[in-house]
Amino acid sequence: MSTPTRILVPVDLMEGSQAIVGYAIELGRPFNAAIEVLHVWEPPQYVAPDLLVAAPGWTPQPLEKEALAAAKQSLENFVGTLQGVGNLTQKLVMGEPSAAVIQVAESGGFNLIVMGTHGRRGLPRLLLGSVAQRVVSRAPCPVLTLHVPTAK
């Protein structure tokens, strides 16, 4: 395996994501690796993307546009907490998470993916699936999965 020079870190912006990014940063530091934090926003399957949302005094906006703006702001806030980290970029894409991670890894020339896994078992895993498992099985480069820490 070559040394990691471009590391992709997909995050769901939930509890534990910061620890996963921190691990990737420490892993890449000796190699001066570029780190890209990726958040994939998956549109809800039960709502039409052109559904308009409005409030008094607002111009009606498509729900998808508002949700993407909120996701972008959340990602910027998340990355903003990682002060003093050089060579760190962020990216927001829309789509099915595992397919989007694979596509970004391929098109961006990443040579390592570092991502968290919640370690769900049984019915929750059956219902929610495992993004990490699908990425590991189809990734164009090595994938390091880390158990997402939970608050005690």
Both tokens assigned to 34: 């570029």
More confident residue, 70 or 119: 70
Q: Using 50, 70 and 90 to split pLDDT, how confident is the model at 142?
A: very high
15-69 pLDDT, tens digit each = 889 999 999 999 999 999 999 999 998 877 655 555 555 556 655 566 677 778 8
Strand-pair partners of 117: 147
For residues 125-139, average pLDDT: 76
Q: What is the CATH number of the domain that holds 115?
A: 3.40.50.620
State how many domains the chain has.
1
Neighbours of 72 (CB within 10 A): 14
- 81 within a domain of the structure (yes/no): yes
Provide the 8-state DSSP code for 16.
Answer: T
| pTM greater than 0.85 (yes/no) | no
Range of the domain at 37: 6-44+61-146
For residues 129-141, average pLDDT: 88
- 139 within a domain of the structure (yes/no): yes
- 38 within a domain of the structure (yes/no): yes
